Amino acid sequence: MPKSINFCEIAANVRAKRERRKDARPGELIEAALELFVEKGFAATRAEEVAKRAGVSKGTLFLYFSSKEELFKAVVRENLSGQFTEWNAMFDCFPGTTPEMLKFCMHSWWERIGSTKASGITKLMMSEAGNFPELAEFYKAEVIRPGNLLIQRMIQRGIDRGEFRPMDAQKAVYTVMAPMLFLALWTHSFGTLDDASSHLNPEEFLATQLDTLLNGLCAPKPAPAGGINAQGIMAASH
């Protein structure tokens, strides 16, 4: 170990270290940007602040992202768009029933988005969509459209398999989205004010919503007396 210096290894280390640092920069910046954007909004977040939180100088930020808007796009891509490839893949090989799929999706959303800082982006976009139309377009193309499509396909799958009653799948999409978006919005606005009247247990809320949702979507069981609802939807949330 001491004397037998391996030059190749050293060189490799040096290179690796530099590259590791370089490669890490965008991620660190995106992480810092996510936090600040969510905390203070897009317009109110200063580029320099993002840089400082990432531990670099203002100039460095612009070395990796040509503008503040590009930085924001990167944040969206990293935290939201990315999920869809996986979700779409899941859709194609999901073994269970469609209600199960829906449940899985909402749980998955909660785990990866809803319960993380990423949910702040959803709120952010709704707040700032009016200003920054270009960002809004980007967000729609990268997040809303894919999300919409995925949900629509799920609903259609349910209908096709006779699990859901016949309906306009596109219109039902919003019924599915609404609880998740509401949750994201609430927790990032009034949810932070700790007060009984504005406190909401997200997981409980989601469970309730899912239950109600399925109740509305599902085809009536051919079933005996006492329909599916017998199990007490709201009760299920405890």
Site for DNA, rule CB under 7 A: 14, 17-19, 21-22, 25, 44-48, 51, 56-60, 62-63, 66-69
- Rule CB under 8 A: is residue 238 a binding residue for a second copy? yes
- Rule CB under 8 A: is residue 189 a binding residue for a second copy? yes
The residue (of 27 and 161) whose beta carbon lies closer to a second copy is 161
- Rule CB under 8 A: is residue 174 a binding residue for a second copy? yes
- Rule CB under 8 A: is residue 168 a binding residue for a second copy? yes
- Rule CB under 8 A: is residue 198 a binding residue for a second copy? yes
Query: Please, what is the minimum distance in Å from the beta carbon of residue 20 to DNA?
Result: 9
- Rule CB under 8 A: is residue 12 a binding residue for a second copy? no
CB-based contact 163:97 (threshold 8 Å): yes
CA 197 to chain centre: 26
CB-based contact 99:214 (threshold 8 Å): yes
Residue range at the interface with a second copy (CB under 8 A); choices 72-80, 84-92, 101-109, 222-230: 222-230
**Which pair of tokens denotes residue 224?**
């005996």
Query: Please, what is the minimum distance in Å from the beta carbon of residue 137 to a second copy?
Result: 7
Query: Sign of torsion, CA 107 111 115 116?
Result: negative
Cα 128 from Cα 144, distance rounded (Å)? 15
- Rule CB under 8 A: is residue 192 a binding residue for a second copy? yes
Backbone angles phi, psi at 58, to 5 degrees: -50, -45
The residue (of 45 and 209) whose beta carbon lies closer to DNA is 45
Among 31, 35, 39, 78, binds a second copy (CB under 8 A): 39
Residue in 147, 148, 170, 150 with CA at minimum distance from that of residue 81:
147
Cα 141 from Cα 193, distance rounded (Å)? 33
